[in-house]
Structure 1
Amino acid sequence: MADQPIHSSTKVARIIDLVQRRIDTRQLTPGMRLPSVRAMAEQLSVSKSTVVDAYDRLTAQGVVQPRAGSGFYVAAPLAPLNVAEPRGETDPTVDPLWIMRQALRPGPSGPAPGCGWLPADWMPDEALRKALRSLARDGDAETLFLYGTPQGDARLRAVIARRLGDQGIDAAPDQVMLAESGTHAIDLVCRFLLEPGDTVVVDDPCYFNFHTLLRAHRAHVVSVPYTPAGPDLAAFAATLVAHRPRLYITNAALHNPTGASMSAPVAHRLLKLAEAHDLVIVEDDIFADFEAEPSTRLAAFDGLDRVISIGSFSKTLSAAIRCGHIAARADWIAGLADLRLATGLGSNPVNAELLAAVLTDGSYRRHVERLRTRLARRREPVIERLEALGLVPWHRPHAGMFLWCALPGGRDSARLARRALREDVVLAPGNAFSHSGSAGHFLRFNIAQMDDPRIDTVLRAAIAEAG
């Protein structure tokens, strides 16, 4: 979690608040060493005596313990983990969980142009029903009643390996492991590679659930500005030197929320930086099938040496059939499979069988071709509608479902989101995606969810009210 500005009356209180927040969000856990007095003073531009005063007060409160000649260590018991943004410090509208709660709320709901999935009536209904009927009729007892293997169904892994090859990623079936979803895949990778307090780099902006997931892993998150060609390389290099991160999590293609795709020169330079600083890259590629021609993939250039590729079919096939995958070095896959066995037993053979059937009977290929065409036909008309309201696209994506748009006059997107929710319209305000809090005048739009005319009416009224 980012260390957000803290409204405290004194510098000492600011330091106390900062340390307590890091403990509450599990960036600092019992037994971990606090930054040295000198390091904290330099970080916050205060005197060393101010830091000593704050640490002494934390010691008196029983929060930390001094160790002669070594420094100060966390003594406080952990509070129950709360992955939501702490209330009172942050507008709840830009808490990533807020958007998901609103978009997934039960019962009848209005339009959700801020959500991250396609409408149900865009999905291959008959293909899935056919696969379900076939499984119900012909499925064997092992598929229907027993645990799957930790690494997942061999047939589906072979299919996924061939599909990765079509994207230029050379992966053998034993380098692929199934997961419950793309998010579950990243969660397993974080469990496998991270220790509490490890630093992880994310894009700014990035998919908002990266923030929440990393908070659950007690990681220290730093962000790098994102450009239409990929991360800002100068800022990225400086971040590697200053923070020595363990992981970088990104979407190289059809970046969420911006829709941009990384250029080949940026990808090559990024991989050189990763090698020089022993950085592992997690490439979340769940939007791969929205592209007719694959754009740059870090995993393709790297050969799965220090890049881990994550995939899923939740966006293109069904969010209800939970099945993602991890492609990585074979020795890492073995460790990840053991971790999955320890935390969730085997994979889901029913979902794997359904997915394999749809991927191999030709219906999925035809379905994604229709999706690409449908999205392509909508993109410019939606951009025109938004521009007529004064919103400016940050980038014009060549594929995918997302548009990242700036509000006119620097208006506050969180305020607009609250106003729209009163009309039962769910928006996605920019600072939910921004670790630095620098995207407050942006909104992410899903062009597949823009049919309802109420969206334009609500936006027009909210923009006028905010002005």
Structure 2
Amino acid sequence: MVSSPVRTASKVTQVMEVIRHRVDRRLLTPGARIPSVRAMAGALIVSKSTVVEAYDRLAAEGLVEGRPGSGFYVAAPLAPLRLLSAEADTDPTADPLWTMRQSLRPAGTALRPGCGWLPDSWMPEDALRRALRSLARDGSGATLFEYGPPQGDETLRTLIARRMAEQGVDVAPEQVLLTDSGSHAIDLICRFLLESGDTVLVDDPCYFNFHTVLRAHRAKVIGVPYTPTGPDLTAFRTAVEAHRPRLYITNAALHNPTGATLSAAAAHRVLRIAESHDMVIVEDDIFGDFESEPAPRLAAFDGLDRVIRIGSFSKTLSAAVRCGHIAARNDWIADLTDLRLATGMASSPLSAALLVSVLTDGSYRRHVERLRVQLARRRGRVLDRLGRLGIEAWHVPTAGMFLWCRLPEGSDSAEVARRALADDVVLAPGNAFSVSGNAARFMRFNIAQMDDVRVDATLARVITS
């Protein structure tokens, strides 16, 4: 039976859109060979003649070129970088940037159980004000007006090194570089280690800004399913062997968004696989201070050989005090310091001095201890409230602010998030965190941002409507 022209045209368009999507996402870069006619026909279950027509049309557009006896290759130069994903054109809630924009809107009356930070009322305002007054009164002109040293304030780097030693990470102050934030640290590392088209492994789900930073660096992102004790090790090994990634970016302690913690056994397996395939690991430890007892750290087991450790104080102290850090082997720190100078000069001496003040007067330690108690008390209550709405935790964390939850059968977290905006409630739908797009029934909740009873009322309305 001969297919109708409309149906044939639809299939040709389908093939063309697959190739365009891969080029737009930098999965196929200029000069890369696109799938053979036979392979594409088999993958999409269409005829080979349909694929040939689609490839011919793409060649006419200048997107691909045919090479006799060799196949078709990407011919067009890369289009200007577009951080918004292709899927966001039809479903913006699946894109990390949508969630970030909603969370960062001016506060007003919005409720933000989907955001990634603590309420202002939980932060050590008095300690910060005392430190600011002290700096204004006694600070030197260099602190108030000049650039900082290339690697950042030595006193703060020494304090960070000592704090890392408490987690079992042996590092010297010379191996620490101050950055503007944790995200800035990841961006510098990507600039340092990645070329356009390199493959990077991330957890699935993972912190959604990993996606956007890697998209900005035109990396090919591969997700590995995450479990309550770390990445699925079989899938992890398979992905490493198949894709030969340059980097693996993860949270070892209090994983974002799941709240899970890497086990020691899984950490050793991950490091062995990384070593056998010459892969670098970036360990984002931004939530480590929420732990009462330090969990296993990849950086501790590895000794900063192929693990780069990053962190910041944005979640525990203040997002306005922009100060993160990178800890890595000495030769990498030297090159990263040069890169930091070339792209943004040195870190803020004012932020560094402020941090040194609160870290050394005891106020930060007392503040973090209070946070742990507050979050522990809050966790059980929020779990009960969500349970009454039919929302179940995928894993119950031992610490931290996040719950990764499964919505009732038939619910779509993207649609739930859209409906909640009508009540000025900002939620974090699952697929914003998932490279594979397999988290449509999941949602991340911030237990510290769920005091207001309107959150429960909105969830009840939008889930059952």
TM-score range, shorter-chain basis?
Answer: over 0.9
C-alpha separation between the residues in 1 aligned to 2:343 and 2:234? 39
Equivalent residue for 1:307? 307
Please identify, of 54-63 and 388-397, the stretch whose mean Cα deviation from structure 2 is larger: 54-63
Correspondences of 1:139-178 after superposition (within 5 Å): 139-178=139-178
Equivalent residue for 1:288? 288
Correspondences of 1:36-435 after superposition (within 5 Å): 37=36, 41=40, 44=43, 52-66=52-66, 72-86=72-86, 89-435=89-435
Any stretches of 5+ residues in structure 1 without a counterpart? Answer: 1-6
CA contact (8 A) 2:202 2:249 kept: yes
TM-fit CA distance, 1:441:
0.7
CA contact (8 A) 1:8 1:14 kept: no
Q: Which amino acid aligns with 1:220?
A: K
C-alpha separation between the residues in 1 aligned to 2:179 and 2:197? 25
TM-fit CA distance, 1:443:
1.1
C-alpha separation between the residues in 2 aligned to 1:119 and 1:105? 15
1:32 aligns with 2:31: yes
Q: Deviations over 1:103-134 (max 9, x none)?
A: 11125132110000000111111111111111
CA contact (8 A) 1:37 1:48 kept: no
Q: Deviations over 1:279-307 (max 9, x none)?
A: 11111110010001100111111111111
Correspondences of 1:11-30 after superposition (within 5 Å): 11-29=11-29
Q: Which amino acid aligns with 1:350?
A: L
Query: Secondary structure, in 3 states, of the residue corresponding to 2:191?
Result: helix
TM-fit CA distance, 1:32:
3.3
C-alpha separation between the residues in 2 aligned to 1:18 and 1:147? 49
TM-fit CA distance, 1:50:
5.7
C-alpha separation between the residues in 1 aligned to 2:176 and 2:214? 23
C-alpha separation between the residues in 1 aligned to 2:276 and 2:283? 18
1:452 aligns with 2:452: yes
Q: Root-mean-square deviation (CA), in Å? A: 2.1
TM-fit CA distance, 1:18:
2.5
Q: Deviations over 1:181-209 (max 9, x none)?
A: 00000011111111111111111111111
How many residue pairs get aligned? The number is: 458
CA contact (8 A) 2:26 2:220 kept: no
TM-fit CA distance, 1:9:
5.7
Equivalent residue for 2:439? 439
Query: Secondary structure, in 3 states, of the residue corresponding to 1:259?
Result: coil
Please identify, of 378-387 and 65-74, the stretch whose mean Cα deviation from structure 2 is larger: 65-74
Q: Deviations over 1:310-353 (max 9, x none)?
A: 10100000000010000111111111111111111122111111
Q: Deviations over 1:64-85 (max 9, x none)?
A: 3445676644332433322112
Q: Which amino acid aligns with 2:461?
A: A
Equivalent residue for 1:4? none
C-alpha separation between the residues in 2 aligned to 1:130 and 1:9? 69
TM-fit CA distance, 1:213:
1.2
C-alpha separation between the residues in 2 aligned to 1:228 and 1:371? 23
Any stretches of 5+ residues in structure 2 without a counterpart? Answer: 1-6
Q: Deviations over 1:346-370 (max 9, x none)?
A: 2211111111111111110011000
C-alpha separation between the residues in 2 aligned to 1:164 and 1:298? 12
CA contact (8 A) 1:195 1:219 kept: yes
CA contact (8 A) 1:37 1:52 kept: no
C-alpha separation between the residues in 2 aligned to 1:104 and 1:223? 26
C-alpha separation between the residues in 1 aligned to 2:233 and 2:41? 25
TM-fit CA distance, 1:61:
1.2
C-alpha separation between the residues in 2 aligned to 1:257 and 1:236? 19
Q: 1:8 to 1:172 in 2, by over 3 A?
A: farther
Q: Which amino acid aligns with 1:260?
A: A
TM-fit CA distance, 1:16:
2.4
Please identify, of 172-181 and 410-419, the stretch whose mean Cα deviation from structure 2 is larger: 410-419
C-alpha separation between the residues in 1 aligned to 2:23 and 2:348? 36
Query: Secondary structure, in 3 states, of the residue corresponding to 2:409?
Result: helix
C-alpha separation between the residues in 1 aligned to 2:253 and 2:410? 28
Q: Deviations over 1:218-252 (max 9, x none)?
A: 11111111110111001111111111111111111
Q: 1:157 to 1:51 in 2, by over 3 A?
A: farther
C-alpha separation between the residues in 1 aligned to 2:35 and 2:25? 20
Query: Secondary structure, in 3 states, of the residue corresponding to 1:225?
Result: strand
Please identify, of 397-406 and 62-71, the stretch whose mean Cα deviation from structure 2 is larger: 62-71
Q: 1:73 to 1:321 in 2, by over 3 A?
A: same
Q: Which amino acid aligns with 2:14?
A: R
C-alpha separation between the residues in 2 aligned to 1:43 and 1:339? 46
Q: Which amino acid aligns with 2:31?
A: M
Q: Which amino acid aligns with 1:409?
A: E
TM-score calculated relative to the size of structure 1: 0.93
C-alpha separation between the residues in 2 aligned to 1:8 and 1:186? 46
Q: 1:211 to 1:39 in 2, by over 3 A?
A: farther
TM-fit CA distance, 1:58:
2.1
Q: 1:135 to 1:401 in 2, by over 3 A?
A: same
C-alpha separation between the residues in 1 aligned to 2:426 and 2:9? 37
C-alpha separation between the residues in 2 aligned to 1:43 and 1:311? 45
Query: Secondary structure, in 3 states, of the residue corresponding to 2:245?
Result: coil
CA contact (8 A) 1:96 1:208 kept: yes
Q: Which amino acid aligns with 2:180?
A: E
C-alpha separation between the residues in 2 aligned to 1:327 and 1:341? 17
Q: Which amino acid aligns with 1:203?
A: D
Query: Secondary structure, in 3 states, of the residue corresponding to 2:445?
Result: strand
C-alpha separation between the residues in 2 aligned to 1:238 and 1:346? 40
Equivalent residue for 1:3? none
TM-fit CA distance, 1:49:
6.4
Equivalent residue for 2:4? none
C-alpha separation between the residues in 2 aligned to 1:385 and 1:88? 31
